[in-house]
Amino acid sequence: MVPLPIKRKNRNRSRRPFSSSRLLESNGPDIKIKGSALQIVDKYMALSREYQTSGDPITAESYLQYAEHYQRIVDANELKIQQNQVIEKEKNQTKTIVSEERSVDETLVRESKVDDEPKPSEINQPLLEENIIGK
């Protein structure tokens, strides 16, 4: 008999972020709806319109409340996506600012090294004066 491998729980795994394409399962009053949050909102809105036209305003309102719940989920998800985009932009801007500062610092270091070295005209000038005075 071959021993089966032991399954270990990965407790260090990161949680997947909630996404709008994530499939949900709604247990409504009469039916079960599967799909993304936006699809569930659309389905409940359609059911609400259907019951409103058939003359059952109470059931229509019930479906509207379900639709409102899933619309809040959609809105919260969009807010999280926008916040993540802002955070990513800030990170990218910080990286570019840091890299620009590094390049400016490197340029200043190069310029200061060049300025520290005496220029050939500065070296020759005192020698020429000594030769003139000495004669």
pLDDT at 114 (0 to 100): 53
Please state whether the predicted TM-score (pTM) of the whole model is above 0.75.
Answer: no
Which are the contacts of 63, defined by CB distance < 8 A and separation ≥ 6?
Answer: 28, 44, 45, 47, 48, 51
109 within domain boundaries: no
101 within domain boundaries: no
Number of domains forming the structure of the chain: 1
Q: For 85-93, what is the mean pLDDT?
A: 87
117 within domain boundaries: no
7 within domain boundaries: no
Please, what is the average pLDDT of the chain? 78
